[in-house]
Amino acid sequence: MDHLPSSFRMLISPTVLLVTGLLVVGIALLYQWLLPKPIAGIPHSKDATKSIFGDIPSMLKHLKTHTEVQYWFLSHNTELNSPIVQLFINLFSRPIVVITDVREAQDILMRRTKEFDKPDIISNLFLGMAPDFHARIPTNDEFRYQRKTVQDLVTPAFLNNVAAPQLHISFMDLINLWSEKARLVEGRPFTIKQDIYETALEAAWAAIFGIEGTATVTRNQTALLSSLETLPLSTSIDEAAQLPRAAAPPAFRAIIELADSIENIVKSPFPRATALWQRYSPAGRRNLAVKKRELANEIAKAEARLKDSEGREEKITNAVDHFLLKEKALSAKAGHAPKYDSPVMRDNLLGLLIAAHDTTSTTLLWTLKILTRHQDIQSKLRSEFRAVFAAAHAEGRVPTANEIVTCQSAYLDAFVEEVNRWSCTASVSSRTALKDAVILGHVIPKGTTLYLMGSGHSVVRPAFDIPDNLRSEQYHKAGGGKVGTWDPNGIELFRPERWLVHDKQTNTEVYDAFAGPHLAFGGGLRGCFGKKLAYMELKLAIILMVWNFEFLDLPDAYSSFQAVDGLTSSPLQCYIKVAKL
């Protein structure tokens, strides 16, 4: 070897070779250590455990050609033929467990709260924009304290006397806007996504802060269109018309942009990092500054009203007045001064605004697509409304807020429930294991995140056959719960009649809320506390829309039912073609 260059002799020296060998072995061992570690016995993609990136490449490939991620999750349950699977979508972390069986989901959400708690999905989604939102924190004394400040928003007194009149005004503003659009487009389709988003936000804002200074977006839009005699239109009656838009106020624009930013978090392999990046991005900082200023201003106005009314409950005209009155009572009981304009108060208000606006607007968009596709159901609803509100129909006026909230209509109840089931607006609930626990015969390690799918098997797809001996002790003690099971034949179809049963005593069809399952509002202590408000708002909006317009068939180019996932799963295309009634 003496004839070899000294530099080469150094490279092949025993020391260098030993170090190189140890380095190669170390890298190989590190790679093996970083590979995904599946939970024993739970089905998973075999390819996912061969790469440190797990299922992330598969998910990103799916998102290149699809706008929704929920069906990618569900595809693994279908391919692996199992109601429980595991996915590796968080780099160098434990797998998530995906469950697509509503009975098991309800058992976890409602009866196994000591084993499974805080939803990590919600925690990640609101980490950047509302870190003190009560839905992010574990079910502890602080969570219960914050829930007490909002729980009275679902009392009949608040819903009927405070929320309903405000919501009626907001949705009548939308009716007036669409009347102007119908005049200008001359029978052509037009997009409604922004209209619905802004009206739903105005409705939520009105219910939370009061009507003063609200509804400006829709009314300004109506004023803009009212000033136009005609629009430049395509010669084709089937081509969508393009209409000008009035600018939204900074507060509304900020909240809508914050809500829209959630889509990026949902589709990211690094959700927490994405949420924090969005918080400190220029747009995020700007929107959060606007949010802080506007909410502080609304809280200050509510505090002034509280002093003027001397805390009398009958003077309450919106939710924030109630929050402050409740905070005053609870803080006095706890022996400390009330904290009105606090990060907790502001983040709870923002969380409520975004959740109420996003879920309602998404559900209404799906409702309008359903009404357009199912002309027979739309006609049946209209006939039902004209019978229920016979006086309003005879007098040629719209039903009042009071008439709507006190009406009884089994078919309307069934229709709304079927929209919630079929649209799968809230497609997933999540929980985190607080301890090692058993689900469907598999041991779930402490700290594992569960995705409980509300858009899959047993809801809109036939359920998996699961032996009862795999269910929990709590499930058996509850007798499996009160909710029925859907017939797998036609489970994928939209059919309100599945919620109706024949009452032999009255010889009529009555609404059965327990006919079958859906997870639109989650469940248990951490379920959606605004459920009653959401139902009331949906019914009010549907009645006013169907009362005032006929929603005509759309050309195929505007009829897609493809969804896009964010905080909710909303339709990608949102058009209507109307005839004013």
Q: What is the pLDDT of residue 564?
A: 86
Closest CA to 247 of 208, 217, 210, 206: 217
Question: Does 342 reside within a domain?
Answer: yes
- 312: amino acid identity, one letter: R
Question: Does 412 reside within a domain?
Answer: yes
Q: Could you tell me the CATH number of the domain that includes residue 211? A: 1.10.630.10
pLDDT band at 95 (very low <50, low <70, confident <90, very high): very high
For residue range 342-365, list pLDDT tens digits in order.
888 888 888 888 887 888 899 999
Q: What is the pLDDT of residue 574?
A: 94
Section 407-433 average pLDDT? 93
Q: What angle do CA 44, 114, 136 make, to 5 degrees?
A: 80
- Confidence check: pLDDT of 20 > 80: no
Q: What is the pLDDT of residue 411?
A: 97
Q: Are 122 and 136 in contact (CB under 8 A)?
A: yes
- 473: amino acid identity, one letter: E
- Confidence check: pLDDT of 16 > 70: no
Task: Work out how many domains the chain is built from and give that number.
Answer: 2
State both tokens at 183. 């005049």
Closest CA to 367 of 434, 429, 417: 417
Spatial CB neighbours of 212, under 8 Å, sequence gap ≥ 6: none
- Identify the helix (H) or strand (E) that includes residue 116: strand 116-117
What is each CA distance from 113 to 105, 122, 242, 437, 453, in whole angstroms?
12, 17, 50, 12, 18
Q: What angle do CA 161, 165, 171 make, to 5 degrees?
A: 150
pLDDT band at 222 (very low <50, low <70, confident <90, very high): very high
In the numeric block, the tokens 């928003």 are attached to 153
Q: What is the pLDDT of residue 554?
A: 96
Question: Does 422 reside within a domain?
Answer: yes
For residue range 452-508, list pLDDT tens digits in order.
998 889 999 999 999 999 999 998 888 777 788 999 999 999 999 999 998 888 888
For residue range 21-37, list pLDDT tens digits in order.
777 777 777 777 788 89
Q: What is the pLDDT of residue 399?
A: 98
Question: Does 133 reside within a domain?
Answer: no
Question: Does 48 reside within a domain?
Answer: no
Q: Are 68 and 450 in contact (CB under 8 A)?
A: no
- Confidence check: pLDDT of 18 > 80: no
Q: Which of 50-54, 122-126, 309-313 has the highest mean pLDDT?
A: 50-54
Cα–Cα distance, 307 to 461 (Å, whole number): 54
Residue, of 15 and 516, whose pLDDT is higher:
516
Question: Does 524 reside within a domain?
Answer: yes
Cα–Cα distance, 193 to 247 (Å, whole number): 15
pLDDT > 90 fraction of the chain, expressed in percent and rounded = 49
Phi-psi region of 480 (alpha: psi -120 to 50; beta: other; left: phi over 0): left
Cα–Cα distance, 240 to 422 (Å, whole number): 27
- Confidence check: pLDDT of 10 > 70: no
One domain, residues 407 and 535 = yes
- 505: amino acid identity, one letter: Q
Q: What is the DSSP string of 524-552?
A: STTS-TTHHHHHHHHHHHHHHHHHHEEE-
Question: Does 454 reside within a domain?
Answer: no
For residue range 231-289, list pLDDT tens digits in order.
999 999 999 999 999 888 888 888 888 888 887 887 777 888 888 888 889 988 999 99
Residue, of 320 and 151, whose pLDDT is higher:
320
- Confidence check: pLDDT of 11 > 70: no
Q: What is the pLDDT of residue 215?
A: 47
Question: Does 58 reside within a domain?
Answer: no
Phi-psi region of 29 (alpha: psi -120 to 50; beta: other; left: phi over 0): alpha
Residue, of 480 and 108, whose pLDDT is higher:
108
Q: What is the pLDDT of residue 9?
A: 55
Phi, psi torsion values for 260, nearest 5 degrees? -65, -30
Instruction: Name the pairing type of β-strands 563-565 and 449-453.
Output: unpaired
For residue range 527-560, list pLDDT tens digits in order.
887 788 889 999 999 999 999 999 999 999 999 9
Phi-psi region of 390 (alpha: psi -120 to 50; beta: other; left: phi over 0): alpha
Residue, of 493 and 215, whose pLDDT is higher:
493
Section 281-304 average pLDDT? 89
Section 53-76 average pLDDT? 90
- 576: amino acid identity, one letter: I
For residue range 110-169, list pLDDT tens digits in order.
999 999 997 677 888 888 888 888 888 888 888 887 777 777 677 788 888 888 988 999
Cα–Cα distance, 36 to 26 (Å, whole number): 18
What is each CA distance from 20 to 10, 24, 28, 33, 90, in whole angstroms?
13, 6, 12, 20, 32
Range of the domain at 214: 150-426+519-580
State both tokens at 110. 């409602």
pLDDT band at 333 (very low <50, low <70, confident <90, very high): confident
Cα–Cα distance, 572 to 492 (Å, whole number): 20
Q: Are 202 and 259 in contact (CB under 8 A)?
A: no
Q: What is the pLDDT of residue 412?
A: 98
- Confidence check: pLDDT of 13 > 80: no
One domain, residues 213 and 353 = yes
Instruction: Name the pairing type of β-strands 508-511 and 578-580.
Output: unpaired
What is the overall mean pLDDT for the chain? Answer: 88
The dihedral through the CA atoms of 119, 345, 342, 340 has a sign that is negative
pLDDT > 70 fraction of the chain, expressed in percent and rounded = 94
Closest CA to 427 of 504, 362, 494, 376: 362
